[in-house]
Amino acid sequence: MIPQRQISLGAGRPIPEYFPWDGLQLSGKTSRATGVEDEAVVMPCMRGEQDFDFAVALNYGYAAGSPQLLRFITEHIEMIHDPPYDDWETCLTSGTTSAMDTVFRMFCNRGDWIVTEEYSYPGAIEAVTPLGINILGIKMDGEGLIPEDLEAKLRNWDPTRGKKPSLMYIVPCGQNPTGATQSTERRRKIYQIAEEHDLYIIEDDPYYFLKLHSRSEFGEDAPMPVDEYLRQLPPSYLSMDVSGRVVRLDATSKILAPGLRCAWMTCCSQIAEKYMNYTEVGSVAPSGFSQVAMYKLLDVTWGHDGFIRWLSFLSHQYRQRRDALVAACEKYLPPDLFTWVVPEAGMFLWLHLQSPTPRISCSSCSDCSIEKEKTALLDLEERIYNRSMEKGVVISKGSWFAAEPDQLKGVKLRLTFATAPLDSFDWAVKQFADAVRGELSK
C-alpha cells in the first residue's frame, strides 16, 4: 500500500527555501535577426513557475538535462538532421569540450589509437594526451580529411603499433584550424570507410550553423530566408548514420555564448546511456542557470523558426567578416607569399607560407636532417609570431594544431575573423604582412 503522504529522509537534496535567489530576469530582443531594433523582451524565471520552476533549475538536475529544454533540442535535432534509425537520443552536456573528454574515456583505453585530421582542435589533442591515447593524423586538402589516405592507413595498419583505431574525431564544417568544409560526396566516402573498418565517429560540429554563403547569392544587407538557409546546410554525419556509429556534438559557444557551458550530444541510446552514467559521477548535470536561460530564449521567446532566423543572421554577420579579412589578405599577402582556401563556414582562415622554408642537409643521417628542418620551421614560425605580436597583431601558430608534431611540413598560420572590429582588418593584415617579410628577409 502506497501512503498518501511521503516524507523523504533519504536524499541529501537542499530545500529550495534556503536558496538565496527567488528568480532571474533576463532581457533580450524578440529577434536580433531582423536588422530592426525590437523592443526589449523580459524573460522572467521565477520560483514556483509551472513550465520551468526556477527552484528546480537551482537544484540537482538530471544528467540528460531538464525535460523542458531537452524536448526543444530533440525537436531541433529531428528537424535539422532527422537521424535515419529509431533508437537515437539527445542529451544535454556541460559544454562540448567536457562531453568530448567523457566520450574519449568511454571509448578508449591507454595505448589505444584515434584517427583525426592532421591539423585538429587543440582541445581534442590535449584531452587524449594525458589519457595515454595515441593520435593518427590523416592528410587534408581544401575539403578537409582525405578519404583515400584514411582508407590506406587503416587497410595497412601495422598491428605491432597496437590495436587498430576504432574511433575517429573530426570537425567537418569550418574545421578548426583550417576552415575546411567537407563536401557531401566526401562525407559519404568517409562514412563508408568508417562502416568498412568499424570506426565510431565523433562529429564535433560547432561551426555547422555558421554557413558563409557567397556575396553574389543574396543581398548585401539581408540574411538568407529561413527556407534557403536550411536548404544550404550540408548533410551531417548524423543524418547519414544508419548503424548508430556517429556521436554528434553540438555547441552553443559559437551560436549563443561560450560561458553557458551547456550544449548537446546526439547518438544511439546505448552510447547515450553510458555517457549519462559517466556524467552522474562527473559533472553531474549541465548548469541549471544556463538551462533555464536557454529554455526561456529558445522555446518561450524564439521558437524553432526564430532560432533558425537567428542562425541565419549570425551566418550573414560572419560572412561579412570573412569577406573583409579575405579582402585585406588579397591586398597585402600576394600568392607568392601565402595561399589559402576561402572558408565556406566557421571563423578561420588558414594560411600556407609559400616563400622558401628552411631546408637543412646533413651528411650523417636522414633523421638528423629531418629533425633540423623541423627545428628551423618552428624557429621561423616563432619569429613570425613574435614579430607580429610586436606590431600589435595576434595570430595562431600552425604547430599548435598538429595532430602529429613530428610530421610538420611547412609553415602554416591561422587567422580568425570572429572577434576584431571589421575596420581593423586592413591595418592588422598589413602589420602581419610586414612582420612576415621582415623575418623572411633575414
DSSP string covering 232-247: HSPPPTGGG-SSS-EE
Split at pLDDT 50, 70, 90, the class of 365 is low
Average pLDDT over residues 309-330: 95
Q: Is the CA virtual torsion 153, 154, 160, 166 positive or negative?
A: positive
- Predicted TM-score of the model (pTM): 0.92
Split at pLDDT 50, 70, 90, the class of 6 is confident
Split at pLDDT 50, 70, 90, the class of 417 is very high
Tens-place pLDDT, residues 137-154: 999 999 999 999 999 999
Residue 204 · residue 237 · CB < 8 Å: no
pLDDT of residue 228: 92
Cα 435 to Cα 432: distance, rounded to the nearest angstrom:
5
Write down all domains in the chain, each with its CATH number in brackets.
17-46 (no CATH), 54-314 (3.40.640.10), 317-440 (3.90.1150.10)
Cα 3 to Cα 391: distance, rounded to the nearest angstrom:
75
Q: How far is CA 183 from CA 58, 129, 141, 145, 366, in A?
A: 43, 30, 12, 11, 38
The better pLDDT of the pair 33, 263 is held by 263
Cβ neighbours of residue 26 closer than 8 Å, sequence gap 6 or more: 42, 43, 44, 45, 293, 296, 297
In this predicted structure, the answer to whether residue 418 has a pLDDT above a threshold of 90 is yes
Average pLDDT over residues 119-132: 97
pLDDT of residue 50: 82
Cα 160 to Cα 280: distance, rounded to the nearest angstrom:
37
Cβ neighbours of residue 195 closer than 8 Å, sequence gap 6 or more: 243, 245
C-alpha cell at 69: 529544454
In this predicted structure, the answer to whether residue 255 has a pLDDT above a threshold of 60 is yes
- Average confidence score pLDDT of the chain: 91
pLDDT of residue 152: 98
Strands 23-29 and 40-46: antiparallel
CA angle 294, 253, 172 (to 5 degrees): 120
pLDDT of residue 216: 44
The closest alpha carbon to 314, from 276, 272, 257, belongs to 257
In this predicted structure, the answer to whether residue 170 has a pLDDT above a threshold of 90 is yes
Split at pLDDT 50, 70, 90, the class of 11 is low
In this predicted structure, the answer to whether residue 217 has a pLDDT above a threshold of 60 is no
pLDDT of residue 23: 83
Cα 56 to Cα 53: distance, rounded to the nearest angstrom:
5
Split at pLDDT 50, 70, 90, the class of 32 is low
pLDDT of residue 372: 82
Split at pLDDT 50, 70, 90, the class of 38 is low
Place of cell 600552425: 398
